[in-house]
Structure 1
């Protein structure tokens, strides 16, 4: 059994509280760019929920009926709307997330945050939380090639941190897309958390090895499965 060297964590819904902010931003963007006129909003909202965690431009491409130009315009509007809401409401971590990440780091693990947001929104969240120095790296789809559910974000995290193998990677997120991304990358351990968008059935259906109440439970789960290497004594 390969010990975990790298933990790849999703942001909104996994380490950062969402509280419907993503849905609000989608709705504002859809209304401002006319995407909301292309299908009933109830249907569009369900698609947004089903595809949580995926690259936002891919979601808007579907909602725009394949119109890539409209999707790019709507994605820019989404990022602006998300930034507005964060400015209005602030950003909060999932309870205990920072401490959980600090513990993983003290165990000698590398930690990378991944998201479907563009870098400008990702960095605004990190600024609001004061997390730039907390993790080794934060990645958006543009940094990797493709967003979730493709494996690119996980594999880019592996390459940039220099860990030994994909079996030494743990992937954790709150959506089926997070789980699929980890599975397709060949990660040694893939878990879902119930602090965000998708329920246990959706997470298990995507192939998760475990479903956890929140990110706070990750370290104990890794330890119980024998996936934590002993920390060298200095």
Structure 2
């Protein structure tokens, strides 16, 4: 079983103090999907634009541009919550979310689903290291299942969670904490949370995860991730085993 050092953090969450160290056994890694383990390549934005057109909640032009800016800023959050904010009422939000899920499925079916380079190898390394794995998403269970089946990852992970499975989506702590409960992890600081958005970072921090890691293969840049509280930022999920010391195990 691999371990990481629990490092006491001063007021600046990106600055580590290396003189007060307790070795914590890593029990669970919580991984985001789109942008972290699964390539996005703008599919979320394209699906949103199609959904806005089909559901009629945002007209083309400046209003759509503003809505897309909001979608980018809230990447990682529950899609139904994003649509509630844009539509202003639950009925329109539900209709728009259904249209989004349809559009995403259409694009994924037409163009295929591809993993981030090295992601599957990381899943296998984590399992071989005795670490449990949770895949989480802001998508619905329907879209989550499309991605899992396309990639063939069901047997590689211990639990998969959408916001509806946990109670609330990001930036709330529900997804990591539900993953902890479902996998019978003994303590929150034995959990590592990894994602490509500020919402992923905020969710991990709110859950009390021992390590919150940002990756640069998705929606947000290093400054945004660190401003949201990331302990570490790596180029991609492929660098996670090295960060966690799995390559030394």
**Residue 172 (structure 2) aligned to one of 126, 150, 170:** 150
Q: Residue 46 of structure 1 corresponds to which residue in structure 2?
A: 69
Q: Distance in 2 between matches of 1:30 and 1:67?
A: 15
**What is the rounded CA distance, in whole Å, between the counterparts of 2:86 and 2:54 in structure 1?**
14
Superposition RMSD on alpha carbons, in Å? 1.3
How many residues were matched structurally?
A: 225
More strand by share: 2
Q: Find 2:218's aligned residue among 196, 202, 217.
A: 196
- State the shift of 1:76 in Å: 0.7
Alignment partners' CA distance in 2, 1:179 and 1:59: 18
Match of 1:17 in 2: 39
The match for 2:48 is 26
SS in 1 for 2:135: strand
What is the match of residue 213 of structure 1? 235
Match of 2:131 in 1: 109
What is the TM-score of this pair, normalised by structure 1? Answer: 0.94
Distance 2:186 2:238 in 1: 25
CA distance in 2, matches of 1:192, 1:133: 25
Q: Which residue of the partner structure matches residue 183 of structure 2?
A: 161
Q: Any unmatched runs of 5+ in structure 2? A: 1-21
Q: TM-score, normalised on structure 2?
A: 0.88
Pairing 1:58–2:81 present: yes
**Structure 2 CA distance for aligned equivalents of residues 111 and 53 of structure 1:** 18
Runs of 4+ residues deviating >6 angstroms: none
